[in-house]
Amino acid sequence: MGLLKLAFRRSSIKQFTEADAHLKKVLDTKDLVALGIGTVIGTGIFILPGTEATTHAGPAVAISFLLAAIISGISGMAYSEFASALPVAGSAYSYGSVIFGQVVGWFLGLSLILEYFLATSAVSVGFSSYLAGLLQTDHISGFNSILAGPMEGGIINLPAVVLLLVILGIQIIGLSTTRWVENVFVAIKLAILAIFIIVGLFFIKSNNYVPFYPKEFQTGAFGLSGIWMATSG
Residue 15 lies in a domain: no
Cα–Cα nearest to 86, from 94, 77, 78, 76: 94
What's the domain range around 126? 26-202+213-232
pTM score of the predicted model: 0.68
Instruction: For residue 157, give the 3-state DSSP assignment.
Output: strand
19 domain-assigned: no
Is residue 170 situated within a structural domain? yes
| pLDDT value at residue 88 | 78
Q: What is the mean pLDDT of the chain?
A: 81
Q: Does residue 14 lie in a domain region? A: no
Planar angle of CA 124, 62, 68, nearest 5 degrees: 65
Residue 11 belongs to some domain of the structure:
no
190 occurs within a structural domain: yes
* 185-207: average pLDDT: 89
Domain count, the chain: 1
- pLDDT confidence tier of residue 31, bands split at 50, 70 and 90: confident
State the pLDDT at residue 198.
Answer: 93
